[in-house]
Amino acid sequence: MAIRRDEVERIAELSRLRLSPEQLDTMAGQLSSVLEFVAALNRLDLSASEPGTFASSEGALRSDVVNGRRLGAEIATREAPESEDGFFLVPPIVENLNP
């Protein structure tokens, strides 16, 4: 199954990626060939197979108790591109119309 250029563009927006026109063309071609290959799964009879998520079903549960080990805000923001007083800094999200 081929994937169209405008679909790649829509998926890129969902993925928060910006592709140039040339990249959109290249990706559409490459993703189409991968999707064609993936269609091989249609040849398998999967009617008896339930969807499996994790490789193993033996998950471990723990009691919901705080263990006391935590990163402080200063340490957690230390390696951020921009931070101040233990907060991450980002550009404005909401414009102030009445300053």
Partner 1 sequence: MTASELWRHSARALTGRVRSGSTGVNDAVESGWEGPAASWEAEVHAIVHADRAAREKACAGSRSGALAGVPVVVKDNLCTTEYPTTCASRILGRWTSPYDATVVARLREAGAIVTGKGNMDEFAMGSSTEFSAFGPTRNPYDLTRVPGGSSGGPAAAVAYGLAPLGLGSDTGGSVRQPAAFCGVFGLKPTYGRLSRYGLVAFGSSLDQVGVFARHAGDAALAYEILAGPDPFDATTRPGPAPDVSGWDRGVRGLRFGWPANLWKEGVEREVIAGLEDAASWLERAGAVRVPFDFLPGEYAVATYYLVATAEASSNLARFDGVRYGFRHADTPEVAELYRRTRSEGFGPEVQRRILLGTYALSAGYYDAYYLKAQRARTRIRQEYEDAFRRCDFMLLPVSPTLPFRLGEKTDDPLAMYLSDIFTIGANLAGIPGLTCPVGLAASGLPRAVQLLGPYDSEPVLLRAGRAIEVGGEEARLDREHEQEFAWPAKR
Q: Which amino acid is at 54?
A: F
CB of 98 to partner 1, least distance (A): 19
Length of the chain in terms of residues written? 99
Instruction: Say if CB 11 and CB 30 are below 8 A apart.
Output: no
Decide: is 78 part of the binding site for partner 1 (CB under 8 A): yes
**Do strands 83-84 and 87-88 pair parallel, antiparallel, or not at all (unpaired)?**
antiparallel
Q: Which residues contact 5 (CB under 8 A, 6 or more apart)?
A: 24, 25, 28
Does position 96 bind partner 1 by CB under 8 A?
no
Residues 29-68 that bind partner 1 (CB under 8 A): 30-31, 33-34, 37-42, 44, 46, 49-56, 58-62, 67
User: Which residues are near partner 1 by CB under 8 A?
Assistant: 3, 7-8, 11-12, 14-19, 27, 30-31, 33-34, 37-42, 44, 46, 49-56, 58-62, 67, 71, 75-82, 88, 90-93
